[in-house]
Chains A and B, each alone.
Chain A
Amino acid sequence: MSTEETTESIYTPVGDTPGNYVREPADAHPPLDYPPYKSTSLRHPKQPLIYLPNTITEITGPALGDARVITPDDANLTAQHAGEPIGERISVSGRVFDTEGKPLRNTLVEIWQANSAGRYRHRWDNWPAPLDPNFTGAGRCLTDDEGRYRFLTIKPGPYPWGNHYNAWRPAHIHFSLMGRAFTQRLVTQMYFPGDPFFPYDPIFNSVRDEGARDRMISRFSIHGTQPDWAQAYEFDIYLRGPAATPFEEAH
């Protein structure tokens, strides 16, 4: 079969999948050039981005649910070693949606984080807080049919960094979302409600709109809390949805 024949129907939406994704508003994400976060200075393009229409390469995305990538145990970060990690045991759960409110099922959610003392198990993290031999700080899971994910972990601590004098990152968990198409790929950070470091953190504040910043803050859930076991935080994530279908002008 020739390439032309095999790609004949590529722009006909298949099942519940859009053929084109909504463009992201310019202020939806932080700017790549953001001087208060010093490391951006040499790592942002200066030439304008070139518009890339959605072709089939952008509206498709990988399936990453197989055993080579993920195992069922990957969602419990408190059970990856012989003993229990130190810290506040928490569940972090939520749903992954597109901006039309459609749950994104069977999509890979990955997290990584510091331990309860604010130290990452990474050879470049050398600030003098203790490492926890029972905590790696990395997890993976796939969303279910309703777009739900759930991790059991330890609440990460805040930690200092070298951006400016007395700089501390608010406690956060890094999130990586594959979505269901190349266009939907997102890496973000989940924060905890009421963190006193919010006003001072240039990474958090690189998102200029307060409402948008609020969408990165998880909510405490007494209903989700497991009695005598784990506190609960909930964090829903919204990825790009389908572009609106243009209507024909009435004559």
Chain B
Amino acid sequence: MIFELTPSQTVGPYFAIGLPWPEGPHAVPEGTEGAFTITGTVYDGAGAPVPDHLIEIWQADPEGRFADLHGYGGTSEMPGFRGFARYGVEDGDGVFEIVTVKPGRLKEMGGGLQAPHIDMTIMARGMLNRVVTRIYFADEEEANAEDPILRRVPADRRHTLLAQPEDGGYRFDIRLQGPGETVFFAV
């Protein structure tokens, strides 16, 4: 490292004037076949919803390809696929909703396969840096059992990373602190 990093600061309470955009919560265009909603509530250490959170996701398409700047692994050919979504609507209830598709499995450096997963960033007032978690899918039991990242997570906490099927989509609640605290990663 030749130069030192610029430090992180909180996103603060007023990011909604700058960061959201109309299609932000859509990782795929509306009407995409197989698209579903992932919804969840972000809770603080007192169990209260965090009304001013910002979440972002990043993921591969169902073929395991990204809409990546660099073209790693071959660029996604799925029409309109962005693979990135940002939800920062502050309507006070702490609930987020993103529209996406299930990503494919990805090859690991050691030769294994990762289970379908979505990287997620959470920021808010009162958070001086982002936290990072991963969304896995509860209905991918076999793939999850083989996932090298999930295997690093203590067995009794893995459930915090599993999105549960609900109403044709999935639910993924986030607990920043306290009982059932979501697993966060150092990336």
A residues contacting B by CB (< 8 A) are 1, 3-4, 6-11, 14-15, 17, 22-25, 28-32, 34, 37-47, 49-64, 68-69, 97, 99-101, 106-107, 110-112, 114, 120-122, 124-125, 136-140, 174, 176, 180, 182-183, 185-189, 203-204, 206-207, 211-213, 215-216, 237-241
Contact = CB atoms under 8 A, between A and B. Distances in A.
Contact of B106 (A9, A32, A55): A55
Contact of A139 (B3, B18, B46, B109): B18
A140 to B, nearest CB: 8
A10 B107 contact: yes
Contacts of A125: 13-14
B66 to A, nearest CB: 5
Contacts of B15: 112, 174, 176
Given A17-B72, A121-B17, 18 more contacts: A4-B107, A6-B65, A6-B73, A7-B74, A15-B70, A30-B129, A31-B128, A39-B125, A43-B126, A46-B178, A56-B107, A101-B3, A114-B14, A122-B16, A122-B17, A138-B18, A180-B70, A240-B5
A42 B68 contact: no
In the A-B complex, the 6 residue pairs with the closest CB atoms: A112-B18, A39-B126, A62-B84, A138-B18, A52-B185, A42-B45
Contact of A57 (B17, B60, B124, B127): B60
Given A64-B84, A112-B17, A97 B109 contact: no
B187 interface: yes
Contacts of A97: 3
B78 interface: no
A6 B149 contact: no
B62 to A, nearest CB: 9
A22 B1 contact: yes
Interface of B: 1-19, 21-23, 44-46, 48, 50, 52, 56, 58-60, 63-74, 82-84, 90, 104-109, 113-114, 117, 119, 121, 123-132, 134, 149, 152-153, 157, 176-178, 181-187
10 contacts: A41-B45, A52-B152, A55-B108, A62-B69, A106-B69, A174-B9, A188-B8, A213-B7, A216-B7, A239-B6
A47 B123 CA distance: 17
A44 B176 contact: yes
A176 B17 contact: no
A7 to B, nearest CB: 4
Contacts of A31: 128
Contacts, number: 279
Nearest to B121: A185
A172 to B, nearest CB: 8
Given A45-B176, A49-B185, A240-B5, A40 B153 contact: no
Nearest to A240: B5
A211 B83 CA distance: 37
B174 to A, nearest CB: 10
Given A10-B106, A40-B126, A139-B18, A238 B4 contact: yes
Contacts of B123: 187
Given A120-B17, A182-B119, A99 B3 contact: yes
Contacts of A211: 4
B28 to A, nearest CB: 13
A11 B109 CA distance: 7
A182 B187 contact: yes
A111 B18 CA distance: 7
A143 B19 CA distance: 17
B104 to A, nearest CB: 5
Nearest to B21: A69
A40 B71 contact: no
